[in-house]
Amino acid sequence: MFPDIQTNFWDAVIAVPVVMLLTQITKSIIRPSKPTIPFIALIFGLCISIFISHRESLLAGVFMGWFYGYAAVGSYASLKTTVISYLKKVRREPS
């Protein structure tokens, strides 16, 4: 009933950064509105998962593609928050 989904090197190290990179390139080319950026990352995650990493099972592809897209969004938000916080600390700006 449930698909056999195996997390591997591809999932952890390659897919999420690729989705982040493709999303950033898309942002620089077409300049979408901020609310649509997570949707763009989700579409990239689904495409990579369905067509490349989980071709054997559509359900597994959709399931993992959802994680690729939203893991990229969360990683980007976390990285951005960390950099901004660090720069405020270095510049001694109030929070």
Q: Could you read off the pLDDT tens digit of each residue along the chain, which spans 95 residues? A: 666 666 677 776 899 999 999 999 999 999 999 999 999 999 999 999 999 988 888 998 999 999 999 999 999 999 999 999 999 989 886 65
Q: Which amino acid is at 53?
A: S
- Rounded to 5 degrees, what angle do the CA atoms 31, 79, 77 make? 55
Q: Which tokens hold the place of 92?
A: 């001694």
Please, what is the end-to-end C-alpha distance for the chain in angstroms?
A: 50
Contact 43, 37 (CB under 8 A): no
Domain ranges for the chain: 32-95
Question: Whole-angstrom Cα distance, residue 27 to residue 51?
Answer: 23
The answer to whether the CB of 66 falls within 8 A of the CB of 45 is yes
| CA–CA dist 94, 38 (Å, integer) | 30
Query: Is the whole model's pTM more than 0.75, yes or no?
Result: yes
